[in-house]
Structure 1
Amino acid sequence: MKNLLTTALALCLALGAAAQTPDSTQGYRFTEGKILRTTPVKDQSRSGTCWCYSTMTMLESEILRAGGPEMHLSEMWIVRHSFMDKGEKYVRLHGKLNFAEGGASHDVTEGIKRHGIVPFEVYPGLNYGTEKPDFHEISAVLKAYLDAVIEASGEKKPLSTAWKRGFNAILDEYFGPLPERFTYQGKEYTPQTFAESLPIRMDDYVDLSSFTHHPFYEPFMIEVPDNWMWASVWNLPLDEMMQTIDHALENGYTVAWGTDVSEKGFSRTKGIGIIPEASLEGMSGTEAEKWGKLTDREKEAALYSLDKPGKERTIDQQMRQEAFDNYETTDDHGMVIVGTATDQIGNRYYKVQNSWNVVPPYDGFWYFSRPFVAYKTTSIMVNRNAVPKEIRKKLGW
């Protein structure tokens, strides 16, 4: 019983002096700040295509911001084209490329520039018997085909003239044939003319990040496995990357956000992401002594109980760099930052739209603390006009 009481006391104290506020004992309660209009929450289901869903949602919100109508752009149009483009590069590089479901925001904007875009109603991309995406078979089949093509040319034999047609035929069977023309709301379009009809331009969207292994204010090819396109991001100091997110939201621009949700402070069931830190400053001498006697496992359990808000770590440039260098921060998920919020003790958060369906506790939206975003962002995509003028000047724009 004594050990149980000690652990319970640690749970109450570990998250800092602010947790002594009566309201802080009632779980997380958020007061929202500025929340931007977006299109409804989608469901990527059993597919690793968060990069496409998040960027499409950002672009759909950009259409709304520009005065256009609410619409659902086809995610699978881009995914299907990306598989083809990626497959060609995979073969060209003799299989020395990450051929998988993952991608990045620039895959969407570059894909629209290359291939146009269509509404979801025109191309749902579900030609294999399910109502939602399910890639457990598709990915295995596509990679096996490409590996067979590469293996067949292993003795320096020329590639056949049929392999691209064969790969395209597989894509057609799973996603459906690509329409060359279609009618939408009484007007006829091609994918290219439909893209041109939108009140946004893909050249207006830029990728930004913050790492010290490349010079600030210059572009660099971000070294993550899913960057099969070898695209570049602009490098900013951490405080300026965060300033850009804040400036974008304040001025009506949503932000496509690449991040890492393998962190212990991320909870699917509670809909939050935080970077907690024990605060010895808020403990009395006896309390601090008891905290010090807990095992590392007990301290971690207390710190990541996530039962109420408290103190979080202060994130600096070196911390996020070390996490990236040590594979502690990986590019494993994409979402959309749509607004701001505070918890009941004043900690600041971003409200984020996910693509894991309309689920509790916040109907498909999540709350990530500022320290989490500062620490775990791999890159963001925003309208270049959302970047503060003084930062744009440093970038030479």
Structure 2
Amino acid sequence: MKNIISLSFLLFLSLCGFSQSYEFKTIIDLEATDVISQGNTGTCWSFSASSFLESEIMRITGKNIDISEMYTVRNTYPVKAENYIMRQGKAQFSQGGLAHDVINSIAKNGIVPQVVYTGLDDEASRHNHSEMVSALKGVLDVYIDNPGKSLSPKWKSTVNAILDNYLGENIETFIYEGVPYTPMSFLEMTKINPADYVSITSFTHQPFYSHFILNIPDNFSNGSFYNVKLDEMMAVINYALENGYTVELDCDVSETTFSAKHGVAVIPEEDAKKAEAIISVRPEKHITQAFRQQEFENYNTTDDHLMHITGLLKDQNGTVYYKVKNSWGTDSSRVANDGYVYMSEAYMKLKTISVMVHKDAIPKSLKDKLKL
């Protein structure tokens, strides 16, 4: 009888441990710039990767520089437009993109600070690209339909005129803190080398330790990703954070258990407990490579949103969470944790599409396997 009572008591304590409000202890907290809002745009790829590069500049030089997200967006749309035209309208033309699009842009066009290129009209305080993208796509579709039966190269100048009108003319020279720069010389000053950054994913439909073009809609530029095992991808994230490197993240945020309002993202063991799981600690599912692949192939895991991992936390039960910087602003009526989301290890394993890191943030044993 005593044994039955003891077991019941232990079970009760166990259940109580998973019905408490979240309490987090910070383990790692790396430098990052302030959380800002991407507004009514689909440019999370530029906001997150710019934040990632801002942390990289801090790490490398100690300088705190607010990078212009819209300068990169302005220089990426012509690339998207050409891809759409050359594929005769059979490719996606949207506001979306991936982290490597930012790296590609800065390699070709450099970086400028936010103070010299905001991408906003003088009277605007919030980005809204709905009208601009509709105008761009409308022009491109007209040229693709080719009503004059003679495709004209004027679509390039028309696209640039629309971008100039909505975002502002491109920048060739500027003054920053009293020093004259071009976008390329400013990139050189930041000591960011675009060749140092690699994208890593984990899927079984391609060989491990190969690199391949990830077949997701927003990969319009056919970016290549290194493929590793799930545990190795997680090891990259952890090794990076432990060694002072932040991590760029592409993931699925369509789950009801991703809650910016409550500031957590979890994968509860019981689907019936989803509502409770965003406000109190619940047991989570064990995530395997096979389950991750299944959820990707059945479209339950999709390429939704890019963010920036800047730290590590644990809850009162010792469960690991990642401190993820979002780009949905800091309005406390809409978001918690000053705009950060605390993402559980289970959520990270299941819902991560890919990560981008500095190549030195990869453990040596894995770098050797990838021939980096």
Bin of the TM-score, shorter chain as denominator length: over 0.9
Partner of 2:222: 230
Identity of aligned residues (%): 43
State the aligned residue count.
Answer: 358
Match of 1:53 in 2: 47
Give the aligned partner of residue 110 of structure 1: 104
1:342 aligns with 2:319: no
Structure 1, unaligned stretches of length 5 or more? 1-14, 279-298
Q: Does structure 1 conserve the Cα–Cα contact (< 8 Å) formed by 2:80 and 2:220?
A: yes
Once residues 201 and 14 of structure 2 are traced to their aligned partners in structure 1, the CA distance between those partners, rounded to angstroms, is 32
Answer yes or no: is the 8 Å Cα contact 2:61–2:190 preserved in 1: no
Distance 2:232 2:356 in 1: 14
Q: Which residue of 2 aligns with 1:168?
A: 160
**Whole-angstrom distance in 2 between the partners of 1:62 and 1:364:** 20
Pair 1:80 & 2:74 matched: yes
* TM-aligned CA distance change 1:82 to 1:17, over 3 Å: farther
Look up the equivalent residue of 1:304 and give its one-letter code.
Answer: A
The answer to whether the aligner puts 1:329 opposite 2:265 as a matched pair is no
- Given residue 135 of structure 1, which amino acid in structure 2 is its aligned partner? H
- CA deviations on 1:45-96 (whole Å, 9 max, x unpaired) are 1111111111110110011011231011110011111111110111111111
Paired AA for residue 137 in structure 1: E
Q: Is the 8 A contact 2:309 2:322 kept in 1?
A: yes
What are the within-5 Å matches in structure 2 for residues 270-281 of structure 1? 270-278=262-270
8 Å CA contact 2:252–2:301 kept in 1: the answer is yes
Task: Answer yes or no: is the 8 Å Cα contact 1:19–1:309 preserved in 2.
Answer: no
Mapped to 1, the partners of 2:123 and 2:360 lie a distance apart of 42
Confirm or deny: 8 A CA contact 1:16 1:310 kept in the other structure: no
Answer whether contact 1:19 1:308 (CA < 8 A) is retained. no
Residue 122 in 1 paired to residue 116 in 2?
yes
* CA distance in 2: counterparts of 1:122 and 1:308, whole angstroms: 44
Displacement of 1:161 = 3.4
Match of 1:27 among 21, 42, 64: 21
Radius of gyration: which is bigger?
Answer: 1
Identify the match of residue 18 of structure 1 among 14, 22, 32.
14
Q: Which has the higher contact order (CA 8 A, sep 6+)?
A: 1
> Equivalent residue for 2:184?
192
Aligned twin of 1:362: 337
TM-score for both structures, normalised by structure 1: 0.87
In 1: Cα distance, 2:63 partner to 2:274 partner: 45
**Distance of 1:123 and 1:81 partners within structure 2:** 12
Following superposition, the deviation at residue 152 of structure 1 comes to: 2.0
For the 8 Å contact 2:20–2:281, the answer to whether it is kept is: no
Q: Would you say the 8 A contact 1:128–1:174 is kept in 2? A: no
1:177 positional shift: 0.6
Match of 1:382 in 2: 357
Distance 1:336 1:240 in 2: 19
Gap change, CA 1:128 and 1:162, over 3 Å in 2: farther
In structure 1, the residue corresponding to 2:338 is in which secondary structure?
coil
Say if 1:312 and 1:26 are closer, same or farther in 2 by CA, change over 3 A. Answer: closer
Counterpart AA for 2:39: S
Q: Which runs of 5+ in 2 are unaligned?
A: 1-10
| 1:268 aligns to 2:260 (yes or no) | yes
Is the 2:252–2:353 Cα contact (8 Å) retained in structure 1?
Answer: yes
Normalised to the residue count of structure 2, the TM-score between the two structures is: 0.93
- State whether structure 2 residue 183 is matched by structure 1 residue 208: no
Distance (Å, rounded) in 2 between the aligned partners of 1:161 and 1:221: 29
Secondary structure (helix, strand or coil) at the match of 2:66 reads: coil
Query: Which of 286, 299, 302 matches 1:314?
Result: 286
Contact 1:320 1:375 (C-alpha < 8 Å) held by counterparts: yes
- Cα separation, partners in 2 of 1:92 and 1:16, compared to 1, 3 Å: farther
- The question of 1:132 aligning with 2:104 is answered no
Secondary structure of the corresponding residue to residue 357 of structure 1: coil
Q: CA deviation at 1:25?
A: 4.5
Amino acid at match of 2:325: Q
AA aligned opposite 2:301: T
Structure-1 residue corresponding to 2:62: 68
**Who is 2:7 aligned against?**
none
User: Could you tell me how far apart the structure 1 residues matched to 2:296 and 2:12 are?
Assistant: 27
Aligned mates of 2:221, 2:153 — CA distance in 1? 24
Query: Does the aligned pair in 2 maintain the 1:341–1:350 contact within 8 Å?
Result: yes
Q: Distance in 2 between matches of 1:349 and 1:177?
A: 42
Q: CA RMSD in A?
A: 1.6
